[in-house]
Amino acid sequence: MALFAFSVAPLGAGESVTEPVARAIKVVRDSGLPHRTDAMFTTIEGEWDECMDVIKRATDAIGVDHGRVSLVIKADIRPGHSGELEGKVERVHRALDAS
């Protein structure tokens, strides 16, 4: 299992990238993988191959209208662990509450 945080956006699209990014996020939502989207990244959790497939399809969804796409990926690969999308955050909150 792994967490993949990624940011994908068209290059040269002007000030707003809302519409193409929304298409990419729809791919993530439709995948059924656990995910979270914030202002900078979308994080998904799953097996390596299924996550990379979702990231590729999300990138392709943006590339439909734009010839050039920027993609940044960060991965936390932890075989044998699941539920880390929430688990990592919960552990930090417990540590903060204990201090």
Kindly list the averaged pLDDT for each block of 10 residues, start to end, along the chain of length 99: 95 80 96 96 97 97 88 95 91 93
pLDDT of res. 98: 94
Domain range list for the chain: 2-98
Please tell me the number of Cα atoms within 13 Å of 83 on its side-chain side.
3
pTM, two decimal places: 0.88
Please tell me the number of Cα atoms within 13 Å of 22 on its side-chain side.
4
Output 29-32 pairs: Cβ under 8 A, ≥24 positions apart.
31/57
pLDDT of res. 48: 95
Q: Which residue has the tokens 């209208």?
A: 65
Q: Which residue has the tokens 């991965």?
A: 75
What dotted CATH number matches 2-98?
Answer: 3.30.70.930
Paired with 12 in beta bridges are: none
pLDDT of res. 13: 65
